[in-house]
Amino acid sequence: MRAVVYHGPGRKSWDEVPMPTLIDDTDAIVRVDAVTICGTDLHILKGDVPAVTDGRILGHEAVGTVESVGSGCKRVKPGDKVLVSCITSCGSCRFCREGRYGQCLGGGGWILGHLIDGTQAEYVRVPFADTSTHPAPAGVSDEQLLMLADILPTGYEVGVLNGQVEPGDVVAVVGAGPIGLSTIMGARLFSPSHVVAIDLADSRLEAAKQFGADVTVNNSNQDPLEVVRGLTEGLGADVAVEAVGVPATFELAAALVRPGGRVANVGVHGEPASLHLEELWIRDVTITTGLVDTYSTPTLLKLAQGHQVDAGRFVTHHFVLDQFEEAYDTFSRAGETGALKVVLTRG
């Protein structure tokens, strides 16, 4: 089979590799029917995730068809159409029992495309298949379902729920890429008074309006602090969400929040950011971080099936699996191409 293989910072290729095989009795082999590229994959290629080593197959999101299962699988069976979650769960360790699957101690957590071979391939081995996949619900297309593997639960859990968005809040989202847009979509479920999207690209700010932002700020020529304070009698945002993963955007999010407000960091950071405690200590500000746990995936699946969340609107570009190089190029130049999420399917 063929797969996208990482060969060190800045280097990847669509290589011929061996087919995956069952290793543990709780494994499943899944034929990949639809797969996407994540901003985290771009961070890996920049060298921000040193645990990813030369030879690793990238990717941690997929929709596919189960080909074979180990003898320990009780729920998943060959022929099932499933969503492969970005987070793998052993289901029995301390953190899995708390619903913190991203911190799994039993061999799970974020492992696909990170510590073991991932989903940007024709086939993938999924450990703990019973607890790490979700049955595909009727009426939800593969590309809609694919958006629930990572970005939607990430924005919802790490941005909206960690940020404790409440009715009437002013929510400032720094970064209007896919994660920022999923945060905006999720925040709208809680009836905030305003959602402010902040980005450098007008194309992404236009997308943010479609996802529910009622105020947009291009911080190359506007002052986000002035705009947010103008909406809040000078106080600042109730919730500020960092959805990029660079020092400047984290520091901006911390500056935007009001006394007693919440800063939810969602972005993947590859270098240190300054934490201005000399300003924040007296303002009762709460700062949260987090890796997605995907405990919200069943809820989001119901919302997608009930058409209360339109996950398909994230998808802007379509490719077949053999076009991974073109897909990566399109996704990595999102400011020029207008790409939000790319989807690759079998030809």
Token readout for 96 is: 């899995």
Tell me whether the CATH fold assigned to 2-150+294-345 matches the one assigned to 153-288: no
Query: Residue 9 has what pLDDT?
Result: 96
**Angle, CA of 177, 123 and 133, to the nearest 5°:** 65
> What is the per-residue pLDDT for 270?
84
Provide the token pair at 79.
């022929």
The distance of Cα 161 from the centroid of its chain, to the nearest Å, equals 14
Count other Cβ atoms within 10 Å, centred on residue 50. 9
Chunked into runs of 10 residues, the chain (347 residues) has average pLDDT values of 97 98 98 96 93 97 98 98 98 97 98 98 98 95 96 98 98 96 97 98 94 97 97 98 96 98 94 95 97 97 94 95 97 91 93
pLDDT on residue 210:
95
- Asked if the 153-288 domain carries CATH number 3.40.50.720, the reply is yes
Residue 121, CA distances (Å) to 30, 37, 52 in order: 10, 12, 16
Quick one: pLDDT at residue 335? 83
Domain residue ranges of the chain, discontinuous segments joined by +: 2-150+294-345, 153-288
Residues facing residue 65 across a β-bridge: 31, 81
Q: Residue written as tokens 């709460």?
A: 286
Supply the pLDDT for residue 174: 98
Q: How much is the pLDDT for 107?
A: 97
The fold of 2-150+294-345 is: Quinone Oxidoreductase; Chain A, domain 1 (3.90.180)
Q: What is the distance between the terminal CA atoms of the chain, rounded to a whole angstrom?
A: 14
